[in-house]
Amino acid sequence: MFKRKNKHHYRFNTKSLVFEKVKVSVKEKLKKFLSIAAAGSVFAAIVLLFAYNFFSSPKEKMLKREIEEYKLQYEILNERMTRVNSVLNDMEDRDDNIYRVIFEAEPIPSTVRNAAYGGADRYAKLEGYDNSKLIIETTKKIDMLSRRLYVQSKSFDEVLDLAKNKTQMMACIPAIMPIKNGATMIGSGFGYRLHPIYKTLQFHPGIDIISPRGTPIYATGDGVVSTPAGNLLSGYGICVVINHGYGYETLYGHMSRKVVAEGQKVKRGQLIGYVGSTGMSTAPHCHYEVWKSGKRMNPINYFYNDLTPDEYQKVIELSSKINQALS
């Protein structure tokens, strides 16, 4: 069987009608080889580039799944922190408006409670990634929460210190409502209210607890029945003022009858009179004021002894309504 050698190429000469050996130089061979190699390389590079961009390796796929999972966890964490944040808000509120008030400590300024961590480059190392914003926001939230928790725990330490050996003071400071179960009967709160007679916006220096005539009124803290100076009592009708010491006084107005005399010592919860509508009043109610160092305070901050958190919330809602006072 004839087998043509591969080494040589032949060309058919149409003139001479014979096969002629074609001589290919080494240079030409090399040239040919290089051009094929170059075309192959370009093609391979295109295929690789395509594969690199459109298909992930199993490892890459796994990493991508992991990143998605982290992202989800960060988002869940963020939501949980928002909830923790609202609980902390409530704690801080109670601390400033109740606990610290009881022990005569100034409320902690919000600039201290919410002071951010110093240093602009604190989060710099977290920058430059796809999810940097999420990570930085979350980290900032955690930092803020830990800072606020630290301030809050310090405040509780301070309050605890103040509470020690203050049993006597605690018995004197007004801490209950002057009417039993009065939480739902607040007709008008502390602040600017429409005056029932003058029909103008006037400062209402206490709260009005609407109750039927004859409802018992109780002393809200230990103290001595006193007479306030000057013309303070005009318009209050039959009225009792108790000096509790430590700078505190309470006033109970518009009574139908009082059962304590000036100079008499009273205990918290002791009956001092009955609800009426004497003085400048439009309906039977107990007008109650709390004074601290000569300044009128919002009485709702002094009901902490006999209110559950729910009742406290109710009192805040009722007393913040801008309505007409009973005076």
Distances (CA, A) of 216 to 102, 180, 219, 224, 274: 26, 8, 10, 19, 5
Cβ at position 187, least distance to Zn ion in Å: 8
Helix H or strand E encompassing 253: strand 248-258
Query: Which SS3 state, helix, strand or coil, does residue 275 take?
Result: strand
Residue 92 or 208: the one with the smaller Cβ distance to Zn ion is: 208
Residue 113 or 287: the one with the smaller Cβ distance to Zn ion is: 287
Residue 163 or 194: the one with the smaller Cβ distance to Zn ion is: 194
Cβ at position 311, least distance to Zn ion in Å: 21
Residue 112 or 322: the one with the smaller Cβ distance to Zn ion is: 322
Do residues 288 and 251 touch, judged by C-beta distance below 8 A?
yes
Cβ at position 205, least distance to Zn ion in Å: 8
Do residues 286 and 256 touch, judged by C-beta distance below 8 A?
no
Q: At what angle do helices 132-163 and 58-94 cross, to 10 degrees?
A: 30
Q: How many residues bind Zn ion (CB under 5 A)?
A: 2
Cβ at position 206, least distance to Zn ion in Å: 5
Residue 99 or 288: the one with the smaller Cβ distance to Zn ion is: 288
Cβ at position 153, least distance to Zn ion in Å: 39
Residue 287 or 292: the one with the smaller Cβ distance to Zn ion is: 287
Cβ at position 321, least distance to Zn ion in Å: 14
Do residues 158 and 267 touch, judged by C-beta distance below 8 A?
no
Q: Which residues of 171-201 are buried (b: 16+ CB within 10 A; e: fewer)?
A: ebbbbbbbbeebbebbbbbbeebebbeeeee
Residue 85 or 324: the one with the smaller Cβ distance to Zn ion is: 324
Residue 210 or 266: the one with the smaller Cβ distance to Zn ion is: 210
Residue 289 binding Zn ion, by CB under 5 A: no
CB within 8 A of 192, min separation 6: which ones?
A: 201, 202, 203, 204, 322
Do residues 291 and 228 touch, judged by C-beta distance below 8 A?
no
- Only one residue has tokens 């305070």, namely 297
Residue 287 binding Zn ion, by CB under 5 A: yes
How far is residue 95's CA from residue 37's CA, in Å, rounded to a whole number? 80
Q: Per-residue string for binding with Zn ion, 199-238, x by CB under 5 A?
A: ---------x------------------------------
Which residue number has the CB closest to Zn ion? 287
Cβ at position 211, least distance to Zn ion in Å: 13
Neighbours of 6 (CB within 10 A): 6
Do residues 188 and 270 touch, judged by C-beta distance below 8 A?
no
How far is residue 190's CA from residue 186's CA, in Å, rounded to a whole number? 10
Cβ at position 327, least distance to Zn ion in Å: 5
Cβ at position 106, least distance to Zn ion in Å: 28
Residue 96 or 208: the one with the smaller Cβ distance to Zn ion is: 208
Interacting residues toward Zn ion by CB under 5 A: 208, 287
